[in-house]
Amino acid sequence: MTNVIKVANVGDIEDEEALILSAEQTGNNDAIAIFFSDGKYYALNDTCTHEEASLGDGWIEGDEVECPIHAAKFSLCTGAALCLPASQPARTHKVELRGDEIWLHVGVPADGAGTQAT
């Protein structure tokens, strides 16, 4: 299932912060967190693959996010679980910029590099 939706404008998400969209808002089977860090946008399924924590509420540094409950780290680029206790990757979604608008391609895997803000 793919769904392309406008989620925010450039500037709406502060550096090292995330915007969390509910499953109802995106049509995905999980909430999706849109991360902004070091000038790039990323999107991951919001629920940690270890238990039920919100990755959008985690600590963002560079191209990684640390789960707020048990401190597993995930790559924002690929969704890969970088350390235990998580071992399964988080699902990525493609983020596209159209001028000042941030668009999300729900269900389309990210290209692994993040989306550079202009």
The residues that touch ligand FES, with contacts defined as CB under 6 A, are 48, 50-51, 53, 67, 69-70, 72, 85-86
Question: Could you give the 3-state DSSP secondary structure of residue 3?
Answer: strand
DSSP 85: T
Question: Tokens 């988080």 identify what position?
Answer: 90
Return the number of the residue (32 or 48) whose C-beta is nearest ligand FES.
Answer: 48
Q: Considering the complex, what minimum distance in angstroms separates the CB of residue 24 from ligand FES?
A: 22
Return the number of the residue (74 or 102) whose C-beta is nearest ligand FES.
Answer: 74
Q: Considering the complex, what minimum distance in angstroms separates the CB of residue 105 from ligand FES?
A: 25
The answer to whether the CB of 20 falls within 8 A of the CB of 60 is no
For residue 57, how many other CB atoms are within 10 A of its CB?
15
Q: Considering the complex, what minimum distance in angstroms separates the CB of residue 45 from ligand FES?
A: 12
Q: Considering the complex, what minimum distance in angstroms separates the CB of residue 48 from ligand FES?
A: 3
Return the number of the residue (6 or 70) whose C-beta is nearest ligand FES.
Answer: 70
Return the number of the residue (43 or 53) whose C-beta is nearest ligand FES.
Answer: 53
For residue 90, how many other CB atoms are within 10 A of its CB?
25
Q: How far apart are CA 7 and CA 21, in angstroms?
A: 8
